[in-house]
Amino acid sequence: MENHSFLIYGKHFRQFYHQEFQTLCAEYALSQLEIDILLFLKNNPSFNTARDICLMRGFAKSNVSKALETLKAKGYIFSQEDTESRKVHRLFLKQEKEVTIQKFLECQKNCFSVMLEGFSEKELETFRSFMQRVDENMVCRLK
């Protein structure tokens, strides 16, 4: 396989994913980053700090900070000081926005459904195993 193929696959994924969210971004006047943050918090409730978002999603701190302020101002999230450390602020989704966040979640699920359409369970398991091995190879080099 040519090396550039992986880059092209990643580019196509990002283009497809962002294209699928364009209507929702416009309808709710949110950026893709803001929706991505909401989905991250929805899908990963135990990783609920700005630091977690930056580390796990690879977003720049300044972009996350700005997006979180916007999401707070628009009533999507709120933060609370951590009980263990006053320096840490935990982020939570507001219940009043649950219907909207569910629309974002459905769009995300649809994206993955379209991408994996026509794959058997065996093929998906092989793909998961392959990706896990690729990840292990990379993580070994990161240490």
Q: At 2, is the pLDDT very low, low, confident or very high (cuts 50, 70, 90)?
A: low
C-beta neighbour count of 41 within 10 angstroms: 20
Q: Three-class SS of residue 42?
A: helix
pLDDT at 143: 65
- Identify the domain containing residue 68 by its residue range: 3-118
pLDDT at residue 1 tops 60 = no
| Number of domains observed in the structure of the chain | 1
Q: Within a domain: residue 49?
A: yes
Q: Sign of the C-alpha dihedral, residues 104, 13, 133, 117?
A: positive
Structure confidence at residue 6 as a pLDDT band (50, 70, 90): confident
What's the mean pLDDT in 33-56? 97
User: In whole numbers, what is the pLDDT of the chain averaged over residues?
Assistant: 94
- Distance set, CA 57 to CA 51, 53, 85, 120 (Å): 10, 6, 23, 28
Distance, C-alpha 59 to centroid of its chain: 10
**Is 15 among the domain residues?**
yes
Asked whether residue 138 is domain-assigned, the answer is: no
If you average pLDDT over residues 38-56, what whole number do you get? 97
Task: Quick: pLDDT tens for 82-114.
Answer: 888 889 999 999 999 999 999 999 999 999 999
Confidence check: pLDDT of 39 > 90: yes
Q: Tell me, yes or no, whether 22 lies in a domain.
A: yes
Asked if residue 136 belongs to a domain, the reply is no
Whether residue 127 lies inside any domain: the answer is no
CATH number, domain with residue 76 = 1.10.10.10
